[in-house]
Structure 1
Amino acid sequence: MKKVKLFFTAMMVLLASAWAIAQDVTVSGVVKDSSTGEPVPFASIQIKGTLDGGSTDADGNYSILVANDAVLIFSSIGYQSQEIEVAGRQAINVALHPDSELLDETIVVAFGTSTKESFTGSAAVVKSSDIAKVQTSDVTRSLEGVVAGVQMTTSSGSLGSSPSIMIRGISSINAGNSPLFIVDGVPYSGDMDNINPNDIESMTVLKDAASNALYGARGANGVIMITTKKAKAGEAVVNVDAKWGWNTKALKEYDYITDPAQYYETHYAALYNSYVRSGSSPSDAWLKANANLTGDPGAGGLGYMTFTVPEGQSFIGTNGKINPNATPGRMLTFGDQSYWIQPDNWMDEAYRQSLRQEYNVSVSGSGDRSTFFASFGYLKNKGITDGSDMYRYTARLKADYQAKSWLKVGANAAYTNFMWNNGNSDEGSSSSTGNIFAFASSIAPIYPVYIRDGNKNIMKDSHGWNIYDYGDGAVVSGLTRPVLAQSNALQSVLINKNYSEGNALNGTAFAEVTFLKDFKFTFNVGVGMDETRTTETNNMYYGQFATSGGTVGKAHSRTFYLNMQQLLSWDRTFNDKHHVGILLGHENYKLSEYALSASKSQMFSNDNDELNGAVVDSKASSSSRDSYLNEGYFVRAQYDYADKLFLSASYRRDASSRFHPDHRWGNFWSAGAAWLINHETWFNAPWVDMLKVKASIGSQGNDNISNYLYTDTYTVSNDNANGVATVFRSKGNPDITWETNTNFNAGVDFGFFGGRLSGTVEYFYRKTSDMLFYFTVPASLGYGGYYDNIGDMRNSGVELSINGTIMNTKDFRWDAYVNATHYTNKIIYLPEKNKNRTIGGHEGYASGNKFIGEGLPLNTFFMPQYAGVDHETGASLWYVDTVDDQGNVTGRETTSNYSLATDYLCDDPTPKLYGGFGTSLEFYGFDVSVSFTYSIGGLTYDSGYSSLMGSPQGTSVGRNIHKDILNAWSETNKDSDIPRWQYGDQNNAAVSDRFLTDASYLNFQNAQIGYTFPERITNKFKVSRLRLYVTCDNIIYWSRRQGLDPRYSFSGETNYAVNSPVRTLSGGINITF
């Protein structure tokens, strides 16, 4: 019986316990900031495993009814989330720890800072950790694929080249589209290569009028705010970062013929087909093609024979294939000297694997009233071609001091010393004999790079240099090549000089005075000086300048800028709910530029690159000065109610020296509003951290044009036999004034699940009015034309940015991001005097292979449309309109006469979608990250491919040939869409939409893996942090065609005569003491 009672007693206790556990309990408390003790308003409280919960009030208090075994998740923007078990408790106070990564969402805006929650405009922040992943001397490259709306093109992969940046599309036809750069609050006009990326704390991209209007004219195309590092509270910190790596060519070449035997066969086919088309019999055509194949370039010959053929046998058989008895290489003997002639791989000789080294040291510290940051950096970066390298030393000192309770002062000074060697002085020119990139990718694989003796050794000249083959027969008689004759760019980059060296000094200083409790006056001054000295020589021994004894040229440029700002702000909160801020300011900016150049010929020594080392003066010496001034007055008002409704408005009146005094002043404004819905008392979605809707509108001017367009300009000349004369240079228009950009932006910012998912969706519309156009006039007037403000254009689109934490545990974190931008461009209005034709209902005018027309995107391609191949003859076909007696188009047909082909509207280069995506992992001390950039849609004209598909003729004989030619039309391949391959056909690669190519691409931009040693190990060595890492840039690149890089320009052009993008693989170590 006792056992039964005991059993029932135990059961009752268990049931009571279960009943107690199952009961709901009201939990109350306050949520505070662990570092300040201040309450955290509107923090989210979520019951784990559900979407139920609540939030704190404006004072951080909360009360919530939950099961007494529930787990509560406390979270807020800028803090690390916490999970706390209720365990039957009724009072739980929480201290949230600030999350340094989320706090970095502080946005640096015009003349101040803001938070993501209160900001009414459009902005994106890139942190120092993201910047550090990209190995570049130009910090702006770290924005690519990371910020929605930002597009980049790079016209060269050479050291020292900077990308072109465009934010939210093209805003102007003739004025500039580049954004304004602000470094620590002051406009920056120097070279971005002069800023050490390791000194950068963050970059903020401002995109809309509410963000940019206070910068007036210079901010019309967007603003990129660069904030340098400063000391954080605490004891001094020393950081050392060192990396070593290798540079290699990242972009594959076009798929051209690299086998010498196959090249000879292909050129033979061009000659053979030409003779047959001219009426020769197949047997006669075979004889003629064999006779001329390696002979006189004037008869279509290649000028070189690099095979040995048994005596009495033909090089090419009647089947069009090389004689199987022919062997590579050929011995020639002239007198007592024998020469071995063999083809070389020009790409292997032109490009190299090179070393990259970078070292950075920084020291930062703070005291009770002061902070300081100092850094030193060294970069040694070898290019991927001979004669190219870069050396840079940087130093920075940044400090501030709280002199009085009401006075704070500070300064930031940076110095850069650089030297940049670029042996290739004619990059971008496909016809230049000194352009190593064009040379190596254009010359056929049958030609030798070097002159070799009878023992197959490369010969040396009297200077000990390798003797290079210049294709002019000067060393080996009779060997002359038609392509790039009398030149060898591979030797030019070694013995010619083209280098720049200089210094850059940039500094800012400020004084900040607080008074009357709510007022603050700030004086900022920024000054900068960039000085560059350039030397270029053309050697006195080889090439086209040897006959003039070589040449030496010097250039010296200096840029100086001064910016001063005076800011008066008032900031007050009323009744804990109404916050008002007013800013009044004045800014003036001056840019001065100076340039000097001179040259001489008849050098005394190739080693002496000074002007005094040559004797014949050139008439090309010149010097010039230029200046630009801008002044503005502005005001900004901001208001927010209860941290949930935010309003802003600004106005700026700007003057620019680029306009006539009567038209220099422009008025620009903006207004913005934002509503933080999740701070409303009625909003009850604990899984929502932030939900904000925002909108802004405003107007800005654009004066990014040349100086003095408002006045007539003249050139001084000595062509007049009677002495000095002036020649009319350009016609000015005193009425030109600002282009005006009207911007509208609307969007939603969101954050869910305790910071696990966040992002932004935005719509933008930008209309450019009073665009500057150039109007041509009859030549009889003595000048070409003038500028005027007539024309409207608009851009509109949508941006999406999403960041997510897929998994976050004690030992494992997985983050990911993606962004995408879609926009369209359209010309709304063109001046009547510029419209000279109507195409497809669009009035406008042709400009090269583009049509500028109302209702069309800018840069719309306008060219003949390829109709394929005549299946009977193999001739190229194009479409031509048919018209009636009144000139009305009734249809179209095909023609093989290119001059009769009709130009048609084609698509444009604007991508349908572009952006980037990436992911990162952190686990047990390891970190791994990858990032990609992409672009979908749009067209580009593949000029590199078209040049490889052209028929050999004149000086193009001996150029590379694309392998697609092997599938050209023939009697046995009549279904091909590639025209017949024959010598002298001027139109088989004529400009048409045949070479318009999908500009889509995907770039595996960066991968990095690192390991951070545990503190229990590093503390033994008095090291607070030790990290080893390996990183690689430009890993793999995919485009529609091998060798094609659509990122060359925004206008849809490409250029194969430029350096390849560089792939850099490095290993590094980062130590913090």
Structure 2
Amino acid sequence: MKRIFTRLSVLAAFCLLMINVAIAQNITVKGKVLDGGDKTSLPGVTILIKGTQNGTQTDANGNYSISAPANATLVFNFVGYTAQEQAVANRTTINVSLVSSSQQLEQVVVVGYGTQRKIDVTGSVATVKGEDISKQASVNPVSALQGKVAGVSITNNGAPGSSPQITIRGTGTVYGNTGVLYVVDGVWYDDISFLNPADIENLSILKDASSQSIYGIRAANGVVLVTTKRGKIGEPSIAYNGSIGYKAVTNQVEMANATEYATIINELSASNGANPLFTNPSSFGTGTNWYNQAFRNALQTNHQISVNGGTEKTTYNFSLGYTNEDGIVKTQNYKRYTAKLSNDFQVLKPLKIGYTVSGTAINTNDINDGIFRQLYTAGPVVPVYYADGTYGDANDFSLGGGNNFNPQVTLDYFNQKSKNYRMNGNVYAELTFAKNFTFKTSAGGDFGQNEVRAYTPIYAATQGQRTTQSTLEIKRSETRNWILENTLTYKNTFGNHNITALLGTTAQRRKSYFINSKAFDVPYSSDGDLYLALGTAATRTVVDGGTLSTSASYFGRVNYSYKDKYLLNATIRRDGASQFFGGGDLWGNFPAVGAGWVISNEDFMKDQKVVNYLKLKGSWGKVGNAGVPINPTTLTVFQGGDLVAFFNGVGYTGANINSLVPSFLNWERTTGTDLGIEARFLDNRLSIETGIYNKKTEQAIFEIPVLSSIGTATGSLIGNQADFQNRGFEFLATFTDKTKSGFGYSISGNIGINNNKVISVVTGLNPIYAGGAGIANGALATRTIQGGAIGEFFGYDVAGIFQNTAEVAASAQKTAKPGDFRYTDQNGDGIIDGKDRIVLGNPNPKFSYGLNTSFNYKNFDMSLDIQGVAGVDVFNANVAYRFGNENFSKDFYDNRWHGAGTSTTYPSAAVGSTANAAPNSFYVEDGSYIRLRNIQLGYALPSMLMSKWKMQRIRVFVDAQNAVNLFGYKGFTPEIGGSPTNAGIDASVYPLSATYRLGLQVTF
């Protein structure tokens, strides 16, 4: 990969050296910008040198000064006014009058396989500008969407470089791939962690089935279109964007200190009929704070430099990026190197060709997946080190079971490094002919390799943390994906009619390969050179495998408008996917239709002054989900040493089927219906978009449990088992204005409401129970059943705490002890059993909202974003998941039952016992939160100073992300993801952190 980056850098440098751009002599141009109507001055007008990002703004009196080439063209832009171009032509004074307009209506929106005017869009498409994404202190661009788009839920994982979980208009599937489709410059991806946010021009989220249907088989969970930056005609422009800062844990959970821990452990011992473990709890003092021992303020630095420019014949854009981010846990680190190069060539007047190629290298120092569990439960009476320098040992304090470890040992001896190399991009040719026709062909690819090396040496740190045999494990995976697409577009306007027709084909292949290997007795090497061949040959193991899937597609779309009043959009896509070959519905058809009525363009609306723009729109469509395992209808078998078959009295290695499979499998289809309104008021300063939707997943594919007595290995059956529904409402309002004094501002608020429901199931189908990860005693905490939501929390309702033996004797829980949970006997049969379980909560958020603002005055600018969710529950599995003498949170210690009358809500220290640890209402908490997602303050140096320094722009900024978080949940963060039937369960999630940065942006 190093060679690839070296060659890429050389290629970029060569391209730049070969570009001959005639740089004209700069002159200073001054002038004043006025309102074309009342002739008042306009402060804050943006003036750019055409083809570049170099420019300035008018001051409070509408005056400006800019250094520009004598033959350049200046572009004047101001909110609510028509953009105006003025050729410099050696003039030193240029005064301009801008005419008010409704330019926002002419905004171009990126949709599938093309663009549309905002006025022509009949579906639900949200657009976020690249500049808004790059303002966030997020390595992954998807994280920056949080709170910006109504109906889109983002769940972040705090780990460096992790990909957030995105859900568009609710959960609509439970099996296979539940992620959205990302389309970057025409190439399909499952994630965009390889993208540098600074390379993004804009991002469109297709939310409804009408806009998604052009992507057929992969659109069921939503589509995100990403357009990266390309070259622009003009002089070479070099830009640097860098920041340095740190991340700090927020809302850290306070644990019981050593004295409190010893006290509550003695209570636990007493409840089990044992003698106190600690004779003098107060002698331990505060003890070890394991979170403080492992956490740190993590350094984060990010740098990106780009070169942009070109002529009428060729344009170019080249960028290099570097990110170095420490984790909040010591020893964790993430480094990413990115490079991107794009060129567009106007070979002939009708022919344009171009390419984009990007490379990414990611290196990480990983941490043990169980470290947060250890930090939560480790006994504070155990020191990190003894006076002689050896590790503190939990066994020296008779702490066995699940508390037999020292987290510092885990940090010191866990040695795992990951490397990820990826190269992707596309090449295209576009031919315009017969005036109205454009043919485009493109080929794209995504090629990657990931390697994980984990080494465990021989060591003896404590009685429970030691190994007598070293281990080296290497996992390597590769992806080799390509996509070929051809489209033919017809565009024409005749009279009052405007029509755009599209025909296209797609061919794809997705191939993955993995190899997992392991060797024992590999000697330690201080320089890190560790190889499998150094281990014992007899114990080496290698397992490999892979998948291959292909698809072919045909699609078409027609957009029609009459007098910009009546709009029609019709789409059809036909997909064939190899996943269903030999036992499924190989081909699927995905139609869609949308219509719109621009009421404000009707004659009866022309004389009114209240509404500037009003559009009513509606759509219907179908999309599919091909994210299922390869050949799901193929019956497979496996052989094992525990299986024996006898033939003629001789035993042979036997075989058994892996799982039951259906003889036929239909596509999982999602049907969506939308109805929306777009409106603008107050001279287009206030815009409103609102709508309702009904999204129904039909013949959903998932696994259902079957009796193990039939002899299957997995005890499940895959099939089309149920229908799901998501219904919701979305609202977005934005107000943008500038005062005469030069103060400009934009305030935008959005809210999304969604209700998730299982509306039907196969007759006789048992409920799907899941959510066992991190739950004590292997209990299952979620249930999916007809009439409820996907993955609802399910268990016992806690009515109180038993205070004495008399209460126990008079209850339905004869085996309980004082201090145990008192469960509600729901059916009144005098017995507490599984029939008394009820729905306890819903992990699917009902409300999501955001408030996004920006302000600017003279050279100062500020943005402030607030984001939150409500109507959601989370399951705190940390409290009861214990097997010995684990620690307790300070909250539990302060509120626990430790004698009659001490608590009626919190149980005793025996919370981990079988009866108390069963999923119940005590562990289900409100997951609502509101946070200050981002605040940034910037200052751009005066333009006159920039002219003197021969530079275009210098801006410094400071910002903070997640600095303020308000929630009632007793864990680190209520922002908890997970698969659909396991969502919202906190079994030691990565803690939430705040990021504080100082940044610099320079353009010259």
Mark yes or no: TM-score above 0.5: yes
Write the deviation string for residues 603-625 of structure 1: whole angstroms up to 9, x where unpaired. Answer: 21153432133225546520112
Alignment-mate amino acid for residue 566 of structure 1: N
In structure 1, the residue corresponding to 2:504 is in which secondary structure? strand
Q: Which residue of 1 aligns with 2:371?
A: 436
Q: Which residue of 1 aligns with 2:255?
A: 256
- Rounded Cα–Cα distance in structure 1 between residues aligned with 2:442 and 2:767: 51
Larger radius of gyration: 1
Q: Which residue of 1 aligns with 2:701?
A: 772
Partner of residue 831 from structure 1, selected from 762, 774, 781: 762
Q: Which residue of 2 aligns with 1:357?
A: 301
Matches within 5 A, 1:391-430: 391-424=335-368, 427=369
Write the deviation string for residues 536-572 of structure 1: whole angstroms up to 9, x where unpaired. Answer: 1112113668444221101111001100111011111
Q: Which residue of 2 aligns with 1:697?
A: 620
In structure 2, the residue corresponding to 1:438 is in which secondary structure? helix
Q: Which residue of 2 aligns with 1:45?
A: none
Check if 1:559 corresponds to 2:479.
Answer: yes
In structure 2, relative to structure 1, the CA distance for the partners of 1:197 and 1:490 (3 Å cut) is same
Matches within 5 A, 1:990-1029: 990-1029=918-957
**8 Å Cα contact 1:248/1:384 also seen in 2:** yes
> In the TM superposition, what is the alpha-carbon distance from 1:724 to its structure 2 partner?
7.8
In structure 2, relative to structure 1, the CA distance for the partners of 1:485 and 1:973 (3 Å cut) is closer
> In the TM superposition, what is the alpha-carbon distance from 1:142 to its structure 2 partner?
0.9
Q: Which residue of 2 aligns with 1:173?
A: 174
- Rounded Cα–Cα distance in structure 1 between residues aligned with 2:764 and 2:642: 35
Q: Which residue of 2 aligns with 1:571?
A: 491
Check if 1:789 corresponds to 2:720.
Answer: yes
Matches within 5 A, 1:792-871: 792-805=723-736, 807-835=738-766, 848-871=780-803
In structure 1, the residue corresponding to 2:750 is in which secondary structure? strand
In structure 2, the residue corresponding to 1:269 is in which secondary structure? helix
Q: Which residue of 2 aligns with 1:630?
A: 551
> In the TM superposition, what is the alpha-carbon distance from 1:808 to its structure 2 partner?
3.5
> In the TM superposition, what is the alpha-carbon distance from 1:343 to its structure 2 partner?
3.4
Q: Which residue of 1 aligns with 2:26?
A: none
**8 Å Cα contact 2:571/2:592 also seen in 1:** yes
Partner of residue 410 from structure 2, selected from 483, 486, 492: 492
**8 Å Cα contact 2:81/2:98 also seen in 1:** no
Q: Which residue of 1 aligns with 2:520?
A: 601
**8 Å Cα contact 1:967/1:976 also seen in 2:** no
**8 Å Cα contact 1:152/1:163 also seen in 2:** yes
Partner of residue 658 from structure 2, selected from 729, 735, 739: 729
> In the TM superposition, what is the alpha-carbon distance from 1:269 to its structure 2 partner?
3.5
> In the TM superposition, what is the alpha-carbon distance from 1:708 to its structure 2 partner?
1.8
Check if 1:384 corresponds to 2:328.
Answer: yes
In structure 2, the residue corresponding to 1:572 is in which secondary structure? strand
**8 Å Cα contact 2:673/2:694 also seen in 1:** yes
Q: Which residue of 2 aligns with 1:121?
A: 123
- Rounded Cα–Cα distance in structure 2 between residues aligned with 1:1054 and 1:847: 13
- Rounded Cα–Cα distance in structure 1 between residues aligned with 2:568 and 2:487: 21
In structure 2, relative to structure 1, the CA distance for the partners of 1:836 and 1:244 (3 Å cut) is closer
Alignment-mate amino acid for residue 177 of structure 1: T
Alignment-mate amino acid for residue 530 of structure 1: G
Matches within 5 A, 1:874-953: 874-881=818-825, 889=827, 892=828, 899=833, 902-947=836-881
Matches within 5 A, 1:99-498: 102=104, 105-154=107-156, 156-189=157-190, 191-253=191-253, 255-258=254-257, 260-272=258-270, 289=275, 292-294=276-278, 315=280, 322=282, 326=283, 343-424=287-368, 427=369, 435-453=370-388, 459=389, 467-472=390-395, 478-484=396-402, 487-498=405-416
Write the deviation string for residues 661-687 of structure 1: whole angstroms up to 9, x where unpaired. Answer: 462101110000111122223213345
- Rounded Cα–Cα distance in structure 2 between residues aligned with 1:560 and 1:658: 17
- Rounded Cα–Cα distance in structure 2 between residues aligned with 1:834 and 1:172: 17
Q: Which residue of 2 aligns with 1:674?
A: 596
| TM-score, structure 2 normalization | 0.83
In structure 1, the residue corresponding to 2:193 is in which secondary structure? helix
**8 Å Cα contact 1:763/1:797 also seen in 2:** yes
**Relative to structure 2, which stretch is displaced further, 735-744 or 491-500?**
491-500
Write the deviation string for residues 365-384 of structure 1: whole angstroms up to 9, x where unpaired. Answer: 02022211110011111111
**8 Å Cα contact 1:968/1:981 also seen in 2:** yes
**8 Å Cα contact 1:421/1:498 also seen in 2:** yes
Moved over 6 A (4+): 74-78, 97-100, 718-725
**8 Å Cα contact 1:539/1:546 also seen in 2:** no
> In the TM superposition, what is the alpha-carbon distance from 1:983 to its structure 2 partner?
9.1
- Rounded Cα–Cα distance in structure 1 between residues aligned with 2:78 and 2:683: 5
Q: Which runs of 5+ in 1 are unaligned?
A: 1-25, 28-33, 37-73, 83-92, 276-287, 295-313, 317-321, 329-341, 428-434, 454-458, 460-466, 473-477, 839-845, 883-888
Write the deviation string for residues 72-92 of structure 1: whole angstroms up to 9, x where unpaired. Answer: xx999774799xxxxxxxxxx
Q: CA RMSD in A?
A: 3.2
- Rounded Cα–Cα distance in structure 2 between residues aligned with 1:945 and 1:99: 57
> In the TM superposition, what is the alpha-carbon distance from 1:420 to its structure 2 partner?
1.3
Write the deviation string for residues 938-964 of structure 1: whole angstroms up to 9, x where unpaired. Answer: 2221212444xx7xxxx4214234433
Partner of residue 586 from structure 2, selected from 653, 659, 664: 664
Alignment-mate amino acid for residue 671 of structure 2: T
In structure 2, relative to structure 1, the CA distance for the partners of 1:735 and 1:901 (3 Å cut) is closer
Q: Which residue of 2 aligns with 1:752?
A: 681
In structure 2, relative to structure 1, the CA distance for the partners of 1:908 and 1:966 (3 Å cut) is same
- Rounded Cα–Cα distance in structure 1 between residues aligned with 2:861 and 2:923: 44
In structure 2, relative to structure 1, the CA distance for the partners of 1:629 and 1:415 (3 Å cut) is same
In structure 1, the residue corresponding to 2:853 is in which secondary structure? strand
Write the deviation string for residues 672-717 of structure 1: whole angstroms up to 9, x where unpaired. Answer: 0111122223213345332111110011121211112111123465
Alignment-mate amino acid for residue 553 of structure 2: G
Check if 1:683 corresponds to 2:685.
Answer: no
> In the TM superposition, what is the alpha-carbon distance from 1:912 to its structure 2 partner?
2.9
| TM-score, structure 1 normalization | 0.78
**8 Å Cα contact 2:409/2:465 also seen in 1:** no
**Relative to structure 2, which stretch is displaced further, 1011-1020 or 435-444?**
435-444
Alignment-mate amino acid for residue 344 of structure 2: D
In structure 2, relative to structure 1, the CA distance for the partners of 1:78 and 1:153 (3 Å cut) is farther
In structure 2, the residue corresponding to 1:771 is in which secondary structure? strand
- Rounded Cα–Cα distance in structure 2 between residues aligned with 1:1033 and 1:811: 28
> In the TM superposition, what is the alpha-carbon distance from 1:852 to its structure 2 partner?
2.6
- Rounded Cα–Cα distance in structure 2 between residues aligned with 1:542 and 1:246: 35
Partner of residue 528 from structure 1, selected from 430, 446, 470: 446
- Rounded Cα–Cα distance in structure 1 between residues aligned with 2:260 and 2:110: 60
**8 Å Cα contact 1:568/1:584 also seen in 2:** yes
**8 Å Cα contact 1:792/1:827 also seen in 2:** yes
Alignment-mate amino acid for residue 695 of structure 1: G
**8 Å Cα contact 1:213/1:219 also seen in 2:** yes
Partner of residue 516 from structure 1, selected from 434, 440, 451: 434
- Rounded Cα–Cα distance in structure 1 between residues aligned with 2:121 and 2:740: 31
In structure 2, relative to structure 1, the CA distance for the partners of 1:631 and 1:1047 (3 Å cut) is same
In structure 2, the residue corresponding to 1:695 is in which secondary structure? strand
> In the TM superposition, what is the alpha-carbon distance from 1:979 to its structure 2 partner?
3.3
**8 Å Cα contact 1:828/1:854 also seen in 2:** yes
> In the TM superposition, what is the alpha-carbon distance from 1:149 to its structure 2 partner?
0.7
- Rounded Cα–Cα distance in structure 1 between residues aligned with 2:522 and 2:895: 51
- Rounded Cα–Cα distance in structure 1 between residues aligned with 2:522 and 2:106: 58
**Relative to structure 2, which stretch is displaced further, 801-810 or 243-252?**
801-810
In structure 2, relative to structure 1, the CA distance for the partners of 1:921 and 1:1053 (3 Å cut) is same
In structure 2, relative to structure 1, the CA distance for the partners of 1:502 and 1:983 (3 Å cut) is closer
In structure 2, relative to structure 1, the CA distance for the partners of 1:754 and 1:551 (3 Å cut) is same
Q: What is the aligned length?
A: 888
In structure 2, the residue corresponding to 1:117 is in which secondary structure? helix
